[in-house]
């Protein structure tokens, strides 16, 4: 079982603090829970939150030493981080543990010196403050999450869900992560490079969302869909379709299609023993060579290595969802 210890630094954001428990808990491996989630803080007891209620945390920072992954969630104030928290995080990093943050939790990691020289992100509204305070960090303020070696950071609120789904996908494969996304009724795993701040996240009341067109495309990933095909289905010009796609998803139509095809290929590699050229064809990636190039670029593994690592055909490795 992989133990995740969440470090709460008051004033906490209750939504951020609840994300790891909600997202990681449903996953099982070999009939057992895949993750053990624990929350700790520097001074156990009642913690201030940024909302209308406080939060009770009973574990102290000694829990960090028992973690495989340490996460710091967001909060309203990050100017005065308890020294004990910084020490615990430095020791965890030195011990080789995976370190992650949600939202303004990145300020805590930066204060501990864990982001110096690394790529990182945080909540976009705090990016200017972050950049001034930590100029040695290679801040990427426009993305959902960043993975730089063993350190992962996410943008605000819902991007923390994306980060946790990404971690599940890395640990147990795309199918497990997507099933958790379905249970949580959130979008399937989104790429970390997707824009975190979308100017028009919802269509105007008089407009029509492209949801139906995206669903139509998902049923036809094995076909050679063009911008013209998508525009025709949406009853838009190609130019209008491209603009609206970016408004609603933060991606161009072709970027979105490629991301969905890679997800489909990963699921097929995990759950079937189909030959590589068939996997490539059914996911719309064309050839086995194209499948290999995209998978190596996206996850750093060849299709054969990915299947060996994440296959769901073995009863000993199959991740399931409670």
pLDDT of residue 248: 81
CA distance 121 to 250: 17
Do 159 and 144 touch, CB atoms closer than 8 A? Answer: yes
Range 212-238 average pLDDT: 93
Which of 47-56, 280-289, 303-312 shows the highest mean pLDDT? 280-289
pLDDT of residue 205: 42
Do 266 and 173 touch, CB atoms closer than 8 A? Answer: yes
Q: Which of 9, 57, 103, 108 is catalytic?
A: 103
pLDDT of residue 198: 45
pTM score over 0.95: no
pLDDT of residue 208: 59
Biggest CA pair distance of the chain = 59
State the pLDDT confidence band at 78, using cuts at 50, 70 and 90: low
Identify the DSSP state of 121: -
Of 300 and 204, more confident: 300
State the pLDDT confidence band at 249, using cuts at 50, 70 and 90: confident
Residue 164 among the catalytic residues: no
Q: Distances in Å between the alpha carbon of 281 and those of 191, 222, 258, 287, 303?
A: 22, 6, 13, 7, 14
Range 186-202 average pLDDT: 53
Do 177 and 27 touch, CB atoms closer than 8 A? Answer: no
pLDDT of residue 200: 43
Give the CA count within 13 Å in the CB-facing half-sphere of 98. 18
Q: Tokens in use for 160?
A: 């923390």
Q: In the predicted model, is pLDDT for residue 201 greater than 50?
A: no
Angle at 299 between CA 295 and CA 300, to 5 degrees: 90
Per the omega criterion (within 30 degrees of 0), is the bond before 198 cis?
no
User: Which of 297, 320, 306 is CA-nearest to residue 270?
Assistant: 306
């Amino acid at each position: 079982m992989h133990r995740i210890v969440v470090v709460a630094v008051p004033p906490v954001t209750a939504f951020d603090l609840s994300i790891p428990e909600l997202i990681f808990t449903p996953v099982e491996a070999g009939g057992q829970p895949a993750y053990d989630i624990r929350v700790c803080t520097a001074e156990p007891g009642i913690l201030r939150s940024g909302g209308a209620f406080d939060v009770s945390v009973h574990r102290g920072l000694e829990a960090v030493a028992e973690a495989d992954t340490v996460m710091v969630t967001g909060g309203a104030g990050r100017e005065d981080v308890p020294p004990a928290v910084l020490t615990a995080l430095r020791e965890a990093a030195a011990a080789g543990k995976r370190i992650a943050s949600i939202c303004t939790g990145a300020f805590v990691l930066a204060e501990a010196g864990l982001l110096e020289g690394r790529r990182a992100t945080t909540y976009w509204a705090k990016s200017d403050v972050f950049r001034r305070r930590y100029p040695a960090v290679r801040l990427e303020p426009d993305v959902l999450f960043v993975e730089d070696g063993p350190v992962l950071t996410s943008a605000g609120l819902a991007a923390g869900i994306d980060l946790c789904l990404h971690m599940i996908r890395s640990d147990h494969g795309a199918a497990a992560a997507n099933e958790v996304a379905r249970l949580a009724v959130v979008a399937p795993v989104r790429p970390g490079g997707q824009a975190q701040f979308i100017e028009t996240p919802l269509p105007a009341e008089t407009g029509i969302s492209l949801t139906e067109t995206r669903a139509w495309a998902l049923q036809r990933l094995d076909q050679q869909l063009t911008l013209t095909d998508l525009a025709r289905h949406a009853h838009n010009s190609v130019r209008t379709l491209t603009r609206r796609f970016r408004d609603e998803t933060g991606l161009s139509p072709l970027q979105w299609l490629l991301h969905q095809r890679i997800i489909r290929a990963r699921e097929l590699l995990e759950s079937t023993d189909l030959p590589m050229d068939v996997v490539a064809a059914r996911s719309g990636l064309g050839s086995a060579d194209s499948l290999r190039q995209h998978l190596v670029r996206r996850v750093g593994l060849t299709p054969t290595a990915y299947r060996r690592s994440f296959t769901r055909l073995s009863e000993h490795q199959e991740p399931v969802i409670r």
